[in-house]
Amino acid sequence: MIDARQMLQNLASRSRAKPLFVSDELPHYATVLAEQYHVMVPSTPTGKPGRPKNAEQVIDADLDYATVHKTRERGRVVQVDRRVVYGSEQSVRDRLADSPSQKINTAYIERSNLNWRLWDAHLVRKSLTFARSLRWLRAKFAIVVSCYNLIRPHGTLSRGADRVFHPTTPAMAADVTDHLWTFGELLAYPVPCQ
């Protein structure tokens, strides 16, 4: 739960608007989202003697969070149930209308997790490799993510309407940079010490 809390605090500090959150049914996500995106509404005084009621935690009205539950039989997915936890069905549908996927799913994050496991052996499940230091694991993972976003062109982003391959990275598609970076450029980029 600590990692989920840190990740959402980091995301909230960097984003202007609340994104659509979609996850599996791990309960930590709903708990941490409620902690991060809420207001405390004080109770109205009753005029009676005694301790006043505690303030009530009210989830932000513009928070949209949905979960995906997969039912498996003999190792195969036989049913997928989608449920809106925070927000309304209509607001989630409206957000999905502007996205590449029209359904609530976890396909994008699952694909990202697969990429990270392919590129960093320390993240592979049930393996003999292990990270000896969290500090070095984070540093190496930052390089892996930077390579993915700044150096490596992606096939789906690189083919335009003309069907010609124009090397494009996710950072170029998001207008963060205007060119493919080199490893030298990435490793020489000044980063403030933390």
Q: What is the mean pLDDT of each run of 10 residues along the chain (194 residues)?
A: 79 82 88 89 84 86 91 91 92 86 86 88 81 85 91 84 85 90 90 68
Distance CA 117, CA 140 (A): 13
Taking the CA atoms of residue 145, residue 148, residue 149 and residue 153 in that order, the dihedral angle to the nearest 10 degrees is 180
**20-23, strands of its sheet edge to edge:** 20-23, 64-73, 76-86
Does residue 73 sit in the same domain as residue 6?
Answer: yes
Residue 95 located in a structural domain: yes
Domain count for the chain, please give it.
2
What pLDDT score was predicted for residue 193? 64
> Cα–Cα distance between 143 and 79 in angstroms, integer?
37
* Within a domain: 110: no
pLDDT at 2: 64
What is the DSSP code (8-state) at residue 151?
A: I
The pLDDT, as a whole number, for residue 67 is: 93
Last residue of a domain, which of 44, 70, 105? 105
Let me know whether 13 and 64 are in one domain: yes
Give the per-residue pLDDT at 9. 85
pTM of the model: 0.72
pLDDT, residue 153, reads 92
Residues 96 and 135 in one domain: no
